[in-house]
A and B are shown apart, each in its own frame.
Chain A
Amino acid sequence: MLSDTDRATYEWQLDVPGLGEDGQLKLGATTALVSRVGGLGGPLAMSLVAAGVGRIVLVHGGELQESDLNRQTLMSRDWLGRSRVECAAETIARFKPEIEVVAVNENFNDGNAAELVEMADIVFDCAPLFEERFLMNRECVKSGKPMIDSAMYSLQGQVMVIVPGKTPCLSCIYPEVPGHWRRRFPVIGAVSSMVAQVGALEGIKLICGIGEVSLGDLIMIDAGRMELEKVKLSPRDHDCDVCGELARR
């Protein structure tokens, strides 16, 4: 049952059709993992916390730099040089002191991937490196946990909901690290925030069982034209190194 505080806090969203007390309790019982907590992951994590997830695991290595400040809205200029993930955790804790925040000052790597995904019920991939994204994808497929993958470039973004056994996985659409991909790309904070909200919403819908989650689609956001469209992805790849075995079952 919801506490009086929760009922007061979520009063306006409890009226969203289909959400109600059941949906709110599901959110409260959820541990969400967000990696990383920059331009995409920061606003995404904040929206999950505001919506009422019970516990949040933030994964991000490294210290805050000046060039992060056009988009990393959980940060503050006077925190330059501090651990980004600790800054994000501090902002979230100030917003909602009762939430349990686990701050991991590392990026996803071979050594921590399984343990990190084990902590979560749902994973939000907002990481820049394909190697990190593939590790999250692999561990989510292995453990049957959903993953929401968000990405951006300039005035565009995309979001993909991965439900192992039901939808293609990240390795189905990207079977290898793209040879030409460059770490640095153009981005405006308003675009990364916008893409983050689409990712957060797909996750909230999936957790609460409301609306229509875009399963098997690539959601494409074009802020230049202010258009949102979906591409229907091909069925799961039976030869996929990561989820092929599930697809063949």
Chain B
Amino acid sequence: MTIQIHYRGQLAAAMGVDAEKIEIDHHSSMSAILQDLAKKAGPEFSNIVLDDEGVPRRTLLIAVDGEQVADYDSCLAPGANEITLIPPISGG
């Protein structure tokens, strides 16, 4: 299935775009989607999204169609339209 993906904060610079359409297998877990993206984007993106073991960081917020997804082992709902990856940001 084709899905729109948005990269917020530092992830946009790390990926080189702030949004794109990607092709994913609808049986893929969120972890697998992130690991595939990290492979494509390289170490800067990977370091924000995954920990040293390649597991999604607990400080990355993921939203699917405007709702946070906390279970990274879950698969996307069949009708899902967009994923937003939101790395932590701060004040100052």
Contact = CB atoms under 8 A, between A and B. Distances in A.
A233 B69 CA distance: 8
Contacts of B87: 178, 180
B91 to A, nearest CB: 4
Report the interface size class on chain B: 20 to 34
A144 interface: no
A112 B57 CA distance: 30
Given A128-B91, A185-B90, A231-B63, A153 B10 contact: yes
A36 B91 contact: yes
A153 B9 contact: yes
B26 interface: no
B61 A231 contact: yes
Interface string B57-88: 11101010011111000000000000010111
Nearest to B48: A180
A51 B70 CA distance: 37
B61 to A, nearest CB: 6
Interface stretch (A23-31, A169-177, A205-213): A169-177
Interface of B: 8-10, 18, 47-48, 51, 57-59, 61, 63, 66-70, 84, 86-92
22 contacts: A40-B91, A41-B91, A125-B91, A126-B92, A127-B90, A128-B90, A129-B90, A151-B88, A152-B92, A153-B10, A158-B86, A158-B89, A176-B58, A178-B59, A179-B51, A179-B59, A185-B10, A185-B90, A192-B92, A218-B68, A220-B86, A230-B66
